[in-house]
Amino acid sequence: MNNEQQELLDEAYKNYCTQLVKDSFLLLRNRLPLDIFINKCKTDPEFSERWGLKIEERELSLEERRKLANYDSVFVSPMTVESWDRNNIPTKLITITHKDKTIESYD
């Protein structure tokens, strides 16, 4: 995860914590830790929408990985998926959206 993505996550989590304090002191005791907050935003669309943080992760297709590997030459022997893995060609696209700001990164 890059710094920009972490900033978006931190901002959304800060909003979440602030709103809990406004809603009720009792709810503060039920505050989720950041890692659980992030996972809940990934898996629970209603929760994600409530806090304005959308986190999407998806596997890249072989064609997308090929493009990231810059393998367009027909003059070189084909790279295999195993070689992409050895060379750390990303396998996943992560998209984080908060307050109409979207950041994409590869993992």
What pLDDT is recorded for position 102?
A: 93
Domain locations along the chain:
3-106
pLDDT band for position 49 (cuts 50, 70, 90): very high
Residue 25 has pLDDT above 50, yes or no: yes
- Find the largest Cα–Cα distance for the chain: 66
Q: Which residue(s) pair with 97 in the sheet?
A: 54, 102
Q: Which residue(s) pair with 41 in the sheet?
A: none
What does the mean pLDDT of the chain come to? 84
Q: What are the phi and psi torsion angles at 31 (to 5°)? A: -60, 135
Number of H helices, E strands in the chain: 6, 3
Listed range (27-31, 43-47, 50-54, 94-98) with the worst mean pLDDT: 27-31
What pLDDT is recorded for position 39?
A: 93
Q: Is the pTM of this model over 0.75?
A: no
